[in-house]
Amino acid sequence: MVEWKKYSHKSEVKWTVDGLMLDIDHHTKTKHLLLESYLQDWVETLTGNCKIGTGQVTLVDGFCGGGIYRDGDDYWEGSPIRMIRAVEAGWRSVKERKPYQDLNIAYLFVDAQREHTECLKYQIREAGYGELLDSGRCRVVTGDFEDQLEDCLSWVKQRGGHSFFFLDPFGLADLPGMSRAILSLGRSEVLLNHMQHDGFMRPMGWHRSRGSIETFLEKYGFANHYDWCKEIDKLSTLKQQALLHDSALRLYRECSAPRFAWTFAFMRNPNTVYYYLIHLSNKPTAVSVMRRTLWKYNNLDYQFHYGIFGLGYRTLDDLNQNLQLLDIHQRNSQACQEKLREQLERFMFAQKALQFRKLFEGTVEQHPATREDYMGVIHQMVLDGDLEIIREERSRCTSRIFNKDIIRKSEAKQLVLLSDRTSERIPRKRRASRTSSASKHVTALETSLTSQSLLFPEFEL
Ligand SMILES: C[S@@+](CC[C@H](N)C(=O)[O-])C[C@H]1O[C@@H](n2cnc3c(N)ncnc32)[C@H](O)[C@@H]1O
């Protein structure tokens, strides 16, 4: 961990109580909106979807900053205040429907700079949440998050319930190691900022030009995942980007041992990623909720970008691009569902029958579809006579599929494994209606290159 600290930027003071603050940019705004939208859904799902929801939730922002940005002549709240707003709003809406339910919510915000934590406390009061500080439900701590982690985990464990950690440092930190410790709690998840450009490409370039790339990769334990970087100059930009994406996911999958890992790209320019938000979790429900959120903020063209960057966000350079977005969501949704159908055909080809839950969990890391997409596509396959949905021993034709439902190949029709005939088989009329209904609800995210190359055999780098 000591080595990682060399690359963190904590020595610079960026926020103070008397008005020093950063200017907000488009990426950070989208990152904040995504975080806020996910957390509101998260708390509503945890507490609202069953008779008696969870009793405690704990939210941690390990690199919290000062809680406020300048946005032109206006101000923009930072991640810790947005976390509070989202969770309190989500809980309020559940409480209105279920006044008998209780939820104990606690927040912990950590930053290495005292100026930042002082500024954040001030901003929390300004935002109207002073009571959270006074009651101890919100704690703001000054210190290195790495050093605080052990105490923090004991506290979260003692509280019980579900926890969410947001890890958003400037530059490098031992995020894989910290995430592993966090996920070992069980009902916890991590959304982290993997600084692909500043944290990886820049230091790698620096070391490569000085002939010390191998030592650098070894020192951080990246040698297994980023070994190809020694030859990086020989690769095209897109191939570099695809490998970086794949390596990042492999790094977290192997080092942090989540059950599910997924990325969302923030583009620096049309061909390179600035940073990835990476979601690590152990629960399929967390994956489902996060997918809906990520599709909501995705504005990359699925057909081109998905195999390289996954889903992601790029800033809108001009009005024309903005207008293009009007149909990007529809095109993306259709392309994603067609790929999902191919995937399910392949998957079901090797199975007789299995529960919907197992089907979803067994394939969800191989493409970006949401749970709602699964239901829509399976329903379509039932209509086409390829699959059957069995509930309480009866065959159903429904787009509302439950975890326990059995999905099996139709006895009347055998699935044929032909990857490129999916779109031909779906009648044009039905395809259109599927797409428009699917585009109404928001959808989800991506996977490692290894599995993408199976899904996208036609995709050549
Ligand atoms: C990118 S800013 C956080 C911004 C915040 N997440 C937001 O979106 O509003 C990163 C923060 O991490 C803090 N930091 C850097 N290294 C740290 C460490 N080892 N432990 C805790 N905080 C650290 C910095 O002082 C800085 O305030």
Q: Report the amino acid identity of residue 170.
A: F
Average pLDDT over residues 191-210: 86
| Residue 299 lies inside a defined structural domain of this protein | yes
Confidence of residue 50 (pLDDT cuts 50, 70, 90): low
Do 314 and 340 belong together in one domain?
Answer: no
Between CA 287 and CA 252 the distance in angstroms is: 16
Ligand 1 site, residue 82, Cβ cutoff 6 A: no
Cα 169 to ligand 1 centre (Å): 4
User: Cα separation of 279 and 261, whole Å?
Assistant: 6
On whether both 249 and 343 belong to a single domain, the answer is: no
CATH no. for residue 95? 3.40.50.150
Q: How far is the CA of 309 from the centre of ligand 1 (A)?
A: 25
Atom of ligand 1 nearest to the CA of 144: 20
**139 CA to middle of ligand 1, Å?**
16
CB of 198 within 6 A of ligand 1: the answer is: no
What's the gap in Å between 443 CA and the centre of ligand 1?
30
Q: Please give the order of strands across the beta sheet that includes 387-391.
A: 353-355, 406-409, 387-391, 394-396
Final residue of a structural domain among 320, 350, 381: 320
Most confident of the following: 95-109, 328-342, 350-364, 404-418: 95-109
Cα separation, 366 vs 258, in Å, equals 15
**Which of 301-310, 322-331, 342-351, 362-371 comes out lowest in average pLDDT?**
322-331
Two tokens at 186? 């069980």
pLDDT of 434 over the 50 cut:
no
**Does 241 contact ligand 1 (Cβ within 6 A)?**
no
Q: What is the pLDDT of residue 334?
A: 85
In whole angstroms, give the CA distance from residue 15 to residue 25.
16
What percent of the chain has pLDDT above 90? 51
Q: Is the pLDDT of residue 213 over 50?
A: yes
Residues with Cβ within 8 Å of 160's Cβ and at least 6 positions away in sequence, in order, are 55, 56
Q: Would you state the pLDDT for residue 327?
A: 67
Say how many domains are in the chain. Answer: 2
168 lies in the same domain as 105? yes
State the pLDDT confidence band at 274, using cuts at 50, 70 and 90: very high
Please tell me the distance from the alpha carbon of residue 427 to that of residue 57, in angstroms, as a whole number: 46
Domain that includes residue 102, residue range: 2-320
168 CA distance to ligand 1 middle (Å): 6
Q: In angstroms, what is the span from residue 64 Cα to ligand 1's centroid?
A: 5
What's the mean pLDDT when you consider all of the chain?
Answer: 83
The whole-angstrom separation of Cα 56 and Cα 75 is 32
The rounded Å distance from CA 65 to ligand 1 centre is 5
Domain-ending residue, one of 300, 320, 340: 320
The string of pLDDT tens digits covering residues 96-109 is: 998 888 999 999 99
For CA atoms 65, 66, 68, 71, the dihedral sign is negative
Residues 415 and 294 in one domain: no
Residue type, 437: S
Q: Which residue has the higher pLDDT, 172 or 8?
A: 172
pLDDT at 93 over 90: yes
242 and 357 share a domain? no
Question: Given 263, 289, 320, which residue is the final one in a domain?
Answer: 320
Question: What's the rounded Cα separation, in Å, for the pair 173 and 2?
Answer: 10
Q: Is residue 461 part of a domain?
A: no
For the chain, how many helices (H) and strands (E)?
19, 15
pLDDT at position 417, please? 46
Confidence bin at 318 (pLDDT 50/70/90): very low
Question: What kind and span of H or E run contains 59?
Answer: strand 56-61
Give the whole-number percent of the chain exceeding pLDDT 70: 83
Residue 266 lies in a domain: yes
Instruction: Give yes or no for residue 79 having a pLDDT over 60.
Output: yes
Strands 188-194 and 162-167: parallel
- Checking if the pLDDT of 253 tops 90, the result is yes
Q: Whose CA is nearest to atom 27 of ligand 1?
A: 65
Q: Are residues 187 and 92 in the same domain?
A: yes
Q: In whole angstroms, give the CA distance from residue 15 to residue 118.
A: 9
Ligand 1 neighbourhood includes 65 CB (under 6 angstroms): yes
How far, in Å, is the centroid of ligand 1 from the Cα of 10?
7
Model pLDDT, residue 27? 93
Determine, yes or no, domain membership for 460. Answer: no
| Cβ of residue 115 lying under 6 Å from some atom of ligand 1 | no
Terminal Cα distance for the chain, rounded: 35
Which of 1 and 232 is assigned the larger pLDDT? 232
* pLDDT attached to residue 96: 92
The response to whether residue 170 sits with its C-beta less than 6 Å from ligand 1 reads yes
Residues 298 and 254 in one domain: yes
Q: Is 145 in the pocket of ligand 1 (CB under 6 A)?
A: yes
56-60, 136-140, 185-189, 221-225: the lowest-pLDDT one: 221-225
Same domain? 54 vs 192: yes
Specify whether 279 is located in the same domain as 414: no
| CA–CA distance, 191 with 35 (Å, rounded to integer) | 9
Q: Whose CA is nearest to atom 18 of ligand 1?
A: 144
In a domain, 137, yes or no: yes
